[in-house]
Chain A
Amino acid sequence: MTTLERLMAILVTHYKLDPTRIARDTPLEHLGIDSLGMVELLFFIEDEFNLQLPSDAPLLPTVADAVRYIDALQAQQPAPSPAGTAAAPPPSRST
């Protein structure tokens, strides 16, 4: 599955959204995910992609922005090795 498909699955499963309403350029706010909802979405993303997100909140206006953010994190945080060392997270923005 692509990152977009996995993100869509999160949105459909946890937010009971109609997948036909979701496109790459859909603003997350239009899906009912406000700043507080974003906090929860990041939690689900951490779970789904086995990522460790920085503690401050990223700016992710659209679905495509979220996909890019996840992909960037995945590139910097490959699956945990036995040594368990992780790369530094990408820059993020506080609200």
Chain B
Amino acid sequence: MRRVAVTGIGVVSPLGNDAAALFANASAGRSAVRRMDAPWCRRLTCPLGASADFRAGEHFEPAKLRMLDRVSQFALVAARQAIGDARIGSGDLDPQRTGVFIGTSMGGSVSTDEGYRTLYEEQSDRIKPFTILTGMMHAPAAWISIEYAVTGPNLTYSTACSSSTVAIGEAWLRLRSGDLDVAIAGGAEAPLSFGAMKAWEALHTLASEDPADASASCKPFAANRSGMVLGEGAAIVLLEDWERARARGATIYGELTGYGVSADIGHITRPSVDGQAAAMRAALHSAGCAPEAIGAINAHGTGTPINDAVETAAIKRVFGARAHRIPISATKAIHGHLLGASGALELVLCLLSMRHGVLLPTMHLQQPAADCDLDYVANRARHDVFVDSMMSSSFAFGGTHAVLVARAAPTAPAAAFAAAPGALPPPIEEQQFE
């Protein structure tokens, strides 16, 4: 089996539109959750969201833009970043040995929602001619393949909140087996439309607004947690055959070492300890490592009463007594739940955490719940903590639970930040690691 390196990162997120901004804000615990002010938000019970500061016109010509839902815009911009970050030129990709693997839960829901609004609210018999093209689930992956003339597998995974974790994991399998040399993998989501938010609201899974601070409304693992907050964005990683990456002198963010996926068959929305634990164990098994090898976890940690309690129990089930000594970060508290893009974003945060030796805080955790009694890195980042391997978990409605294991690059810059304990790392592009 071949080893798989992560050699490029691209991000559009509520915490910033590049890896450096994302990690700086996540380290500082700055929340992007806001009370949204679009006119349709008045019809929401609790109009909270974590939106990306994204100006599509800066990235696309008008004629192209009309063919791109917001989710595809995010995906394309993140893919461009990842490929640029990996310093791969147009001639460096073997088209047939490169694949695109994208996860999204709701696809082009903004376009779909707009189409229905036109038909039903305006009573128009005409909708925009590209509504099918912008709304289709695999448009983000298709546009990436077209833009980079990649002719290998072009695949979209839609498994709700684990979509991009599955996409990256499935890409990893193909690189590991030698079927591909390079994969552009990750997820994108743009769920902050009236129809999508109303649908989520109807499920009674969204957080109520914190009366003192709207940005603190999502409180994973806290006694007063009330639900999740939707976020938007995309995270794309460039996965590359390890030897190929080394041969070309690529910067390696880390190694993807394991991927596990399970079906939680008990209920369509309520996760089980068995189901979540099965995915974690499968990931450990594929990584060929014992639970003791995992130094920290980025939890699914949605802030819903059920998930956080079940996830805590599942971590205990897998890690035993050592579960209490594993730092667990739930970063959805500040970037929101990006649904199908969450897993990719959180894998990126794991890679950056290991690289910079910073364990990210779980914000808004004043009083842990009685059934959430692990170390959640409450409210403050821990600096100068370099772990060898991290687990990133994504648990989904529908029961497709997926977990990735990533390992720090051998040359992780343990000394790079030791000179300035507590300081935020400099932007990625200013760093010299290899």
Instruction: Mark A22-40 against chain B: 1 for CB-CB distance below 8 A, else 0.
Output: 0000000000100011011
Q: Is B60 an interface residue (CB 8 A)?
A: no
Q: Give CA–CA (A42, B129) in the complex, Å.
A: 9
A16 near B129 (CB under 8 angstroms)? no
Question: What are the interface flags for B88-128 relative to A under an 8 Å C-beta threshold, 1 for contact and 0 otherwise?
Answer: 00000000000000000000000000000000000000101
Question: Once the chains bind, are A16 and B130 in contact (CB under 8 Å)?
Answer: no
Q: Are B126 and A16 in contact (CB under 8 A)?
A: no
Residues of B within 8 A of A46 (CB): 126
Given A42-B129, A43-B128: A16 and B61 interface contact (C-beta under 8 Å):
yes
A46 to B129, CA, bound (A): 11
Question: 17 A-B pairs, CB-CB below 8 angstroms?
Answer: A14-B62, A14-B63, A15-B63, A16-B61, A16-B62, A16-B63, A32-B63, A36-B133, A37-B63, A39-B129, A39-B130, A40-B66, A40-B129, A40-B130, A42-B129, A43-B126, A46-B126
Q: Separation in Å of the B272 CB from the closest CB of chain A?
A: 46
The chain B residues found within 8 Å of chain A, CB to CB, are 61-63, 66, 126, 128-130, 133
With a cutoff of 8 Å between Cβ atoms, the chain B residues found around residue A36 in the complex are 133
From residue A10, how far is it (CB to closest CB) to chain B in Å? 12
| Chain B, residue nearest A32 (CB) | B63
Residue ID in chain A nearest B128 by CB atoms: A43
How many residues of chain A are within 8 Å of chain B by beta carbon? Answer: 11
CB distance from A43 to the nearest CB of B (A): 4
A46 to B126 Cα, complex, angstroms: 10
**A15 to B67, alpha carbons, bound, how many Å?**
13
Residues of chain B lying within 8 A (CB to CB) of residue A14 = 62-63
Question: Which residues in A have some Cβ–Cβ distance to B below 8 Å?
Answer: 14-16, 32, 36-37, 39-40, 42-43, 46
SS class, residues of chain A in contact with chain B: helix
| Minimum C-beta distance from A7 to chain B (A) | 16
The 5 residue pairs across chains A and B that have the minimum distance between CB atoms: A43-B129, A39-B129, A40-B129, A15-B63, A16-B62
CA distance A36 to B66 in the complex (A): 12
Min CB gap B381→A, angstroms: 46
Inter-chain CA distance A70–B38, complex, in Å, is 39
If A14-B63, A32-B63, A46-B126 are given as contacts, then 14 extra A-B residue pairs at C-beta distance below 8 Å, sorted by A number, are A15-B63, A16-B61, A16-B62, A16-B63, A36-B133, A37-B63, A39-B130, A40-B66, A40-B129, A40-B130, A42-B129, A43-B126, A43-B128, A43-B129
Contacts of B62 in A (CB 8 A): 14, 16
Chain B residues near A32 (CB-CB < 8 A): 63
Measured CB to CB, the nearest residue on chain B to A42 is B129
B24 to chain A, nearest CB (A): 37
- Nearest-neighbour CB distance to chain B for A9, whole angstroms, equals 15
B-chain residues with CB within 8 Å of residue A37 when the two chains form the complex = 63
Q: Please name all residues of chain A whose beta carbon is closer than 8 Å to the beta carbon of B126 when the two chains form the complex.
A: 43, 46
Q: Which residues of A contact B133 (CB under 8 A)?
A: 36
Nearest residue, chain A, Cβ from B133: A36
CB proximity of A78 to chain B, nearest CB, Å: 19
**Max chain A Cβ within 10 angstroms of own Cβ: one of B62, B63, B128, B130:** B63
In the bound complex, residues from chain A placing their C-beta under 8 Å from that of B61 are 16
* Nearest B residue to A40, CB-CB: B129
CB neighbours of A15 from chain B (8 A): 63
B128 partner residues in chain A, CB cutoff 8 A: 43
Distance A11 CA – B130 CA, assembled complex (angstroms): 18
Kindly provide the distance from the CB of B142 to the nearest chain A CB, expressed in whole angstroms.
Answer: 13
CA distance A39 to B66 in the complex (A): 12
| Bound-state Cα–Cα, A16 to B60, Å | 13
Bound complex: CA A42 to CA B133 (Å) = 16
Find chain B residues with CB under 8 A from A40 CB. 66, 129-130
A75 to B4 alpha-carbon distance, docked (Å): 65
Q: A40–B61 Cα gap in the complex (Å)?
A: 15
Cα–Cα distance between A15 and B66 once the two chains are bound (Å): 10
Nearest-CB residue, chain A, relative to B63:
A15
The minimal Cβ–Cβ distance linking A49 to chain B, given in whole angstroms, is 13
**Which partner residue on chain B sits nearest A17 by CB separation?**
B63
A15 nearest CB across to chain B (Å): 6
Complex Cα gap A40–B62 (Å)? 13
Complex Cα gap A15–B64 (Å) = 10
Q: In the complex, what distance in Å separates the CA atom of A15 from the CA atom of B129? A: 15
Q: What is the distance, in angstroms, from B118's C-beta to the closest C-beta of chain A?
A: 12
- Interchain nearest-CB distance for B67 vs A (Å): 8
- CB-CB under 8 A from A42, the residues of chain B are 129
